[in-house]
Structure formats: structure tokens, C-alpha cells
Amino acid sequence: MEHVSTGTLIIILVIMIVVSAYFSASETGMMTLNRYRLRHLSKQGNRAARRVEKLLQKPDRLIGLVLIGNNLVNILASALATIVGMRLYGDLGVAIATGVLTLLVLLFAEVLPKTFAALYPERIAFPSSFILAPLQKVMFPLVWLLNGITTLILRIFGIRTNVRISGALSQDELRTIVNESQSQISRRNQDMLISVLDLEKVTVDDIMVPRNEIVGIDVNDDWKSIMRQLTHSPHGRIVLYRSSLDDSIGMLRVREAYRLMTEKKEFNKENLLRAADEIYYVPEGTPLNVQLVKFQRNKEKVGIVVDEYGDIQGLVTVEDILEEIVGDFTTSMSPTLAEEVNPQSDGSVLIDGTANVRELNKAFNWSLPATEARTINGMLLEELEEIPEIGKRVRIGNYDIDILDVQENMIKQVRVTPIKSLQASVQNH
């Protein structure tokens, strides 16, 4: 070093700081990459992404390589700075060189490159992989030795080193990612994705058409009545039964019935029964995500929900499940619910006791409890544990509920007033 000029040493020192900055930026860029975007680019054939992905498959080797390179360069830079300082200012120069080098390394070899790499990891990691990939092969013996010593020390302290961290996302993590992707995904698509994730929390019981609302045809009726019901049916499939819904015998496709009417001169009860499909039964409590797959596997579109005793509880369709994902196909409020609610000018809503709580929550963006009971009547009876008198007021969460009508041991009508609406009304006046 005695024969090397001070100017040359300063140039080498600057190069060492640049190399140190490279290693610092590479480490931060590699470690802060979006792994899912990296995987996506890799599958699309991006060579740099594939190279980076291969490097990250063994992060211990990558980190070992970067740290070895960074520390070697920093130690060499420190030695050079000491020599330059002594040549320029003697013993005082050593202290000056140490202080100046520390500041330069912190600023230009640590903070600035790492900050830039954290903000733009792909701009750093992808080009950096061209150097790190071959360098890893050249430095493999040293990296292997360093990692071996590190592993041995960790095992001495009882720390496991063969732990593999899964890159798979949990549902809650995926839900968080979807919620925070507003700039990339529209609000409607976000809602749809969240609805798909929430399917397992909702069962067929929550969305089924209740037993008392199932449209069916009693085959014991006279033929003219049956034909009239077929002609005026608003549904594509109708349950056929004898005398009682408990004695269901088939599921009739109305379109198939019309086809038989036109093709066969004699269309009677016998042909009608032959045209009916076998009923597909669904156990109550089945999560929607499971039932959607079962509908697909069995090539069914409608199922009759039964309890553990085989008693019919309701009817569920593929369309009902799809509406849980994409929303109602027609309007924001189902026709049935529209008949059961009557919004008032003061912000309250008159609601029939048979109205479905989940549908109300969706239609009005409420948060009434819908864990056990499915109807307003059931929810209130569960809350009060008795049949209330007309005029009684109940507060559930942020809602005041007035009982307006009670008949035959059932709550027939209530008035629901969100408390927030009351507060806003008071403030306005």
C-alpha cells in the first residue's frame, strides 16, 4: 500500500462504499419482494423473477453470501480509510477517518440504498440477481462453512434450524389482502371475493326458502288444478307431493312438463310423475362452500333441506348460493323481503315477524344478531325468552324494536329504529 498513491486509495475507498451499498440494497430488495407477485412473474416466464425465486428458495445461503460480501467490503474500506487518514493528518487522521467513514457508510452504504430498495424492491432485486447467482456459486464453500458454524451454534442453544415456514395464506390473511387492495380491485369485486371466503361461515339453513314458503303441487288434486298451478308457476322447478310436503315424491322441471305437453297428445298424471326427477336432499347445517361443490358434483341445482330426523326444513338452490357471492340478480332486496318491510319517513322500518334477519342486515346494512334464529320473531323470542305484549320496546345492539302486533303466540309486526337515526334526528332539530 506504501507505493499506492493517496488519490488511488480514495478512489478504491469510494468503490468499496458503492459495493457495500450494492450488497445492502440487494439484501433489502430480495427480502422485501412481494413473493406472490414474484411467483406470478416467474410463471409468466420472466427470467429475472425465476432467478430471484431460485435464490430465495434457500434464504440462509443468500443472506450468508450478502453478509460475507458486505462485511468484507466494509472491513477493507475501514482499513483503507485508516491508511488515508494517517497519510493526510497523522494519528489525528485515524479518528477523523473513522468518523467520516462511519457517516459515509451509514448514509450511502446503508440508509439510502436500503430505503430505495424497500421502496422499489423489483428494480434492485432483479438486476442484482445477475451478479448474486454466479457469485453464490463462487463463494459457496465459504457460505457453506459460515452457515454450518451458525447452525451448530444454534443447535447448542437448543434452537431448531430445520423449520420450514409455509408461504400459504390463511383465510384471515387473504381477507386482509383483499380489503387492502382497493387500488387494484374494484369495491364490487372485493365484496365478491370476501363473500366467497365467508361461504363456510354461512349454512344452507341461513339462505333456504322456509318450508311454509316452498311451492309444490299436490298430485292428489284434480288434473285441472294441477295444470293451472303449472301454467301460473313463477318457478322453474316445483316439488311434487301427495297430500303433505312430508310425502314428497319428486322435483318437476316446468320446462320439461311443457315439452311433454307439446310432444304427447295425452299428458296426464302418470306422465307428469314420470317426468319428475328424484329429489336431491341436503342435510341442514351444511356450509355453503361445501354445498356449492356438492351441487356441481351431483349436477343438481335444487335441494330439499332436511333435519337429522329426515323432516323437510326448506329448499335451497344454486342461485341462492351464487347470490350470496355476487348479490341478488334482480334488485338489492328480494321480492319476498320487499313485501315484508315498509320503511318510514322517520328512519324506522315496519317489518313482518317472518322477515329473514340476514336479508334485513344485507338490505339495510344492519347488524342484527343472526346466529341462531333466522326470523325477526325468532330473534325476539330468543332475546326475551317469552312472548311479549303489544307495545313493548326492546333494545338489541344499536336498534330499538317496538312490538306492534302479536297473534297466535307469534310476533307479527315490529318497528325497528336504528339508534343512530334517532341521534341524527335529534341533532338536526
Average pLDDT of the segment spanning 327-355? 78
pLDDT tens digits, 356-396: 888 888 888 888 987 677 889 999 999 898 999 999 999 99
The residue behind cell 366467497 is 196
Tell me the domains of the chain and their CATH numbers: 6-156 (no CATH), 202-326 (3.10.580.10), 335-428 (3.30.465.10)
Please give the model's pTM, rounded to 2 decimal places.
0.61
Q: CA 215 to CA 314: how far, in whole Å?
A: 11
For 407-425, write each residue's pLDDT tens digit.
988 999 999 999 864 444 4
Question: Cβ–Cβ contacts within 10 Å for residue 242, how many?
Answer: 12
Question: What pLDDT is recorded for position 422?
Answer: 45
Predicted confidence at residue 124, as pLDDT, reads: 92
Determine the pLDDT at residue 256.
81
Q: Tell me the pLDDT tens digit for each residue of 297-307.
A: 999 999 999 99
Res. 343: pLDDT tops 70: yes
- Cα separation, 225 vs 216, whole angstroms: 12
pLDDT, tens digit, 9 for 90 and up, residues 3-17: 667 788 888 888 999
End-to-end CA distance of the chain: 87
Q: Which of 198-207, 257-266, 360-369 has the lowest mean pLDDT?
A: 257-266
What integer best gives the mean pLDDT of the chain?
85
Asked if the model's pLDDT at residue 426 lies above 50, the reply is no
Strands 312-317 and 302-306: antiparallel
Collect all residues with Cβ–Cβ distance below 8 Å to 390 and sequence separation of at least 6: 403, 404, 405, 406
| Torsion, CA 221, CA 225, CA 231, CA 237, rounded to 10 | -20
pLDDT over 50 at 176, yes or no: yes
C-alpha cell at 208: 333456504
Mean pLDDT of the 236-254 span: 90
The DSSP call for residue 336 is H
DSSP 309: T
Residues in the chain, how many? 429
- The answer on pLDDT for 428 being more than 50 is no
Q: Is the pLDDT of residue 91 over 80?
A: no
